[in-house]
Amino acid sequence: MKTLIAPKACQTMTDLRAQIDAIDVELINLLATRSLYIDRAADLKKIEGLPARTTDRVAEVLDKVGSTASEKGLDPELARKLWAELIEWSIQREIRELGE
């Protein structure tokens, strides 16, 4: 990730937007990497005979995300909503792969 300048150091909206754009690129990179792990999860679930949706695991991930968000000063409800969408997309991807 490119080195960011602190929000308070941004002197113009152009400076600020450049920082936000850099963060967005990094977020997309991380989400793309995460999707590779979801693909592998589908492979392993197929081998291990596991379903795409594991309710306990979904709750565990959402709890961890909410907790981490709180620790970092991010609204935990926002984080939980974003991850719930991400998780559902991942589950649907696994369902297609597993043929459920």
Q: What is the pLDDT of residues 1-13, one digit of tens each?
A: 678 999 999 999 9
User: Do the annotations mark residue 53 as ligand-binding?
Assistant: no
The domain in which residue 82 lies consists of 11-98
| Residue 5, domain member (yes or no) | no
Residue 91 maps to which CATH number?
1.20.59.10
Q: Give the separation between CA 42 and CA 95, rounded to whole angstroms.
A: 8
| Residue 25, domain member (yes or no) | yes
| Residue 62, domain member (yes or no) | yes
Q: How many domains does the chain have?
A: 1
- Of 34, 41, 52, which is closest to residue 91 (Cα–Cα)? 52
| Residue 1, domain member (yes or no) | no
User: Do the annotations mark residue 80 as ligand-binding?
Assistant: no
Tell me the per-residue pLDDT of 14-37, one tens digit each, with 9 for 90 and over.
Answer: 999 999 999 999 999 999 999 999
Tell me the per-residue pLDDT of 91-100, one tens digit each, with 9 for 90 and over.
Answer: 999 999 998 7
User: Do the annotations mark residue 46 as ligand-binding?
Assistant: no
Q: Give the separation between CA 62 and CA 91, rounded to whole angstroms.
A: 14
- Of 38, 57, 34, 56, which is closest to residue 95 (Cα–Cα)? 38
As given in the structure block, the two tokens for residue 22 are 């850099």
